[in-house]
Homo-oligomer: A and B are copies of this chain.
Amino acid sequence: MSVLTLGTVAFDTIETPFGSSGKVVGGAASYIALAVSQFVRKQHLVSVIGEDFPQEFLTELSGRGTCLNGLSLVKGGKSFHWSGKYHQDMVQRDTLATDLNVLVGWEPKVCKSGNKADFVMLGNLDPEVQLAVLDQVNAPQVVVLDTMNFWMDIAMENLKKVISRVDVLTVNDEEARQLTGEYFLPKAARAIHKMGPKTVVIKKGEHGALMFQDNKVFFAPAFPLEEVIDPTGAGDTFAGGFIGYLASRQEATGEVTWEDMKQAVVVGSVMASFTCEAFGTSKLRSLSMVDVQQRWREYTKLTESELISWPKG
């Protein structure tokens, strides 16, 4: 079972009310691939970097079973760089700089084994690039799309084309509203179903995630952290944990059930909580499956309750 991930592999410079990251490795695909690697042994990365990108991070990804044949290196180019500053609430943020660099004019190339991938994770990027990757994959079983309001503002037509071709869409609550014009989330989810995706995951950051499929709905809270150092990449990590777990279930059982999807949301939430505990990818990189399992056990206690009896009736 292999997973193919499209997304940025890049640098971030992050300021929060509590500290600064300096220039660190980030990018959607970095977080996704690290999270996926906890669940599957083989994955493909489709991205682009410049000559300034540290080999050491690529070596780590390779060591975690990531095929880098789809990672373009632009000679003399500089990697994508995003800089932002979080408000006091650690949710809202202002973008200070977006240096597209090697992203400009990049045409993604999926390698020969990548195009047989069973699971495709389209990380947040220009819908045109997402379409180009989708066109190069033969017959994926599950395609998950992550996107954001930015593309709704400037590339809605192409975005809708991508949306029509995916199985799962992950967006945040505001984005679900913007995409559909529906304020209440169950209605927004139904409107998204009509655009194509059978499954809709609405990410609400510290307030958890809602998943809708047909008439079913599932909710998973965010793990209540003692302290959030940096939420950058949490949504990407969620997506990586989500698709990685699904792929592992497909490998183990030959199918992906609603129960698997629910557990994938839980796993995504658990993985995302780690990312928030440090700047950049450092926490994800140091993580063992034992850490993940331990937090998962704590996590499940969060919502476990048992109705003993109703007092009347």
Q: Does the CB pair A300–B289 fall under 8 Å? A: no
| B residues less than 8 Å from A260 (CB atoms) | 308
CA–CA, A217 and B225, complex, Å: 11
A218 in complex: contacting residue of B184, B263, B305, B307, CB < 8 Å: B305
CA–CA, A311 and B246, complex, Å: 10
Q: Does the CB pair A263–B308 fall under 8 Å? A: yes
CA–CA, A260 and B305, complex, Å: 9
Nearest CB on B from A216, distance (A): 8
A305 in complex: contacting residue of B185, B204, B262, CB < 8 Å: B262
Is residue A293 contacting chain B, with contact meaning CB distance below 8 A? yes
Q: Does the CB pair B218–A186 fall under 8 Å? A: no
Is residue A302 contacting chain B, with contact meaning CB distance below 8 A? yes
Q: Does the CB pair A219–B303 fall under 8 Å? A: yes
CA–CA, A302 and B185, complex, Å: 14
Q: Does the CB pair A224–B186 fall under 8 Å? A: yes
Number of identical protomers: 2
CA–CA, A85 and B227, complex, Å: 35
Q: Does the CB pair B248–A221 fall under 8 Å? A: no
CA–CA, A226 and B266, complex, Å: 24
Q: Does the CB pair A184–B228 fall under 8 Å? A: yes
Q: Does the CB pair A252–B289 fall under 8 Å? A: no
Residue with the greatest number of chain B CB neighbours at <10 A, chosen from A216, A260, A262: A262
| B residues less than 8 Å from A52 (CB atoms) | none
Is residue A210 contacting chain B, with contact meaning CB distance below 8 A? yes
| B residues less than 8 Å from A302 (CB atoms) | 217-219
8 further A-B contacts with Cβ under 8 Å, apart from A217-B302, A219-B221, A220-B305, are: A40-B311, A207-B207, A218-B303, A248-B311, A262-B304, A263-B305, A293-B313, A303-B303
**A residues lining the B interface (CB < 8 Å):** 38-40, 88, 90, 183-187, 204, 207-208, 210, 216-221, 224-228, 245, 248-249, 251-252, 259-260, 262-263, 265-266, 289-290, 293, 296, 300-313
Q: List 25 A-B contacts (CB under 8 A).
A: A39-B312, A88-B183, A186-B224, A186-B225, A187-B226, A208-B219, A217-B224, A217-B301, A218-B301, A219-B221, A219-B224, A219-B302, A221-B221, A221-B303, A248-B311, A248-B312, A249-B308, A252-B309, A252-B311, A260-B308, A262-B304, A263-B306, A263-B307, A289-B313, A293-B310
